[in-house]
Structure formats: C-alpha cells, structure tokens
Amino acid sequence: MPQPAGRAQRRGGGSRKPREERWAELFAVATDIFHEKGYEGASLQDIADRLGMLKGSLYYYIHSKEDLLFEVINEVHRQGLENIVALASQPGDPLQKLRNVIVGHIEHMCRHLTGTTVFLHEMESLPPERQAEILGGEHAYRSVFLDLVSKAKADGLVRDDIDPKLASLAILGSVNWVYRWFRPGGEFTPRHIGEQFADLILRGLVAD
C-alpha cells in the first residue's frame, strides 16, 4: 500500500511495529469507521481507540482527519482505476473490452464494498481541489468508459445516435449504484450481477 502523502519517513525503535504495518492498520480502521459512522460522525478519537493508540500518536502519520479521508479515497480510486485500465487493455474489440470492464468493475466494487462505500459517499466531504487531485483533470476513471464507447462507435459497433459522453456517464452511474443494494452472500454473486448489467448495457448500444 502506498505511504501517506506528504509525510516524512520515520524509524520506530524498540518493539514498535514497523511504520508500514502500523499505517496499514490505521488505513483499514479508518476505512471501517468512515463506513460505519460517515466522515462527519467519525472522529480521530474513534480511530485511535480502536487501534489502541493515543489520539496524539495519529499525527505521526497524518495532519488531520481530512488528510486521512483523502488517503482512503485516493487509494480506493487508485486500485479501482488500475483494475479497469488492465481490463481495458485485454485483447478484443472495443465492445468486448467494454463488457470486460463493466463485469470486472462491478466485481471489484462488490469485493471491496467498504472502501467503495466510503469513496462514493464521502468524496464530496473533501474540498473540490482535493477531489480533482484524486479524479484527475479529465476524470481518468470515466475516461476509460468514454474511450471504449468512442472507439466502438468509430468501428461501427455502436449506434450512430449514441453520444459517447452521455453513454459513458450512464454506464458508470448505473454500475456504481450496485453498491447501494449488493449484499455479500445474497441472491446474486458479483460475477452474475456484472454479466447481467453488461448484457443490458451493450444491448442498448450495439448497432444492428
């Protein structure tokens, strides 16, 4: 896991856990508490108590609660983007790649439900400039979907009346909503949900 941004490397002494291990624990606990209580309801004291640390010790790793939320959301976005970029790079025509991305994106979200929920619920708790720092100037995540729809249309695989930008927004909006109702161990597996959504979406795009 990447180290927190803007913090100097420090060496612990004695029996203290390595910094990387302690940061991973802090990251996991913060993600859980932001998920349980929401950003506004969570406190650094909550996080410190669950870690068995003094609140002041958290400042060894972060400057503020906002910094911690930024680190959580940034890492969730990084992992998700890495996943869909890899899927979009697999062999196949643009529609097949789009199908792979839709299925794989839904599977990834469902298997990382806590982090996904924090990302989608709490992004707007960050200032606009920090949101932009995570998403990128061109919204890199959305750009993967836009690029595939645009290429599929250019290849004659998507209907002429489809606007790629609107289509990519509709696709991402619909698949992202899965986190609201998906329950692990429920009626549908992540794979089944992904395949069903991909079928529905592609049937609405494909040219005759």
**What is the average pLDDT across 113-135?**
93
How far is CA 24 from its chain centroid? 17
The answer on pLDDT for 17 being more than 60 is no
Give dist(CA 101, CA 41) in Å, integer. Answer: 34
The answer on pLDDT for 3 being more than 80 is no
Give dist(CA 38, CA 110) in Å, integer. Answer: 19
The residues that bridge with 158 in the sheet, in sequence order, are 206
Q: Are 26 and 47 in contact (CB under 8 A)?
A: yes
Give dist(CA 35, CA 116) in Å, integer. Answer: 9
Where does the chain hold its CATH 1.10.357.10 domain(s)? 67-205
The answer on pLDDT for 193 being more than 80 is yes
The answer on pLDDT for 6 being more than 50 is no
**What is the average pLDDT across 75-102?**
95
**pLDDT confidence bin for 31, thresholds 50/70/90:** very high
How far is CA 121 from its chain centroid? 11
State residue 7's pLDDT score: 46
State residue 188's pLDDT score: 92
The answer on pLDDT for 74 being more than 50 is yes
Give dist(CA 186, CA 208) in Å, integer. Answer: 36
Give dist(CA 138, CA 118) in Å, integer. Answer: 22
**What is the average pLDDT across 45-72?**
92
Tokens 């400039």 correspond to: 129
For the chain, give the percent of residues with pLDDT over 90.
74
Where does the chain hold its CATH 1.10.10.60 domain(s)? 19-62
User: Would you say the C-alpha torsion 76, 168, 133, 47 has a positive or negative sign?
Assistant: negative
pTM score: 0.84
Mean pLDDT of the chain: 89
State residue 23's pLDDT score: 86
Rg for the chain (alpha carbons), in Å?
A: 20
User: Which tokens go with 30?
Assistant: 């913060």
Pick the CATH number of 19-62 from 3.40.1280.10, 3.40.50.300, 1.25.40.10, 1.10.10.60: 1.10.10.60
**What is the average pLDDT across 83-94?**
95
Burial 166-179 (b: 16+ CB within 10 A, else e): ebbebbbeebbebb
Domain 67-205 = CATH 1.20.1050.10: no
pLDDT in tens, 140-191: 889 999 999 999 999 999 999 999 999 999 999 999 999 889 998 889 999 9
**What is the average pLDDT across 91-117?**
95
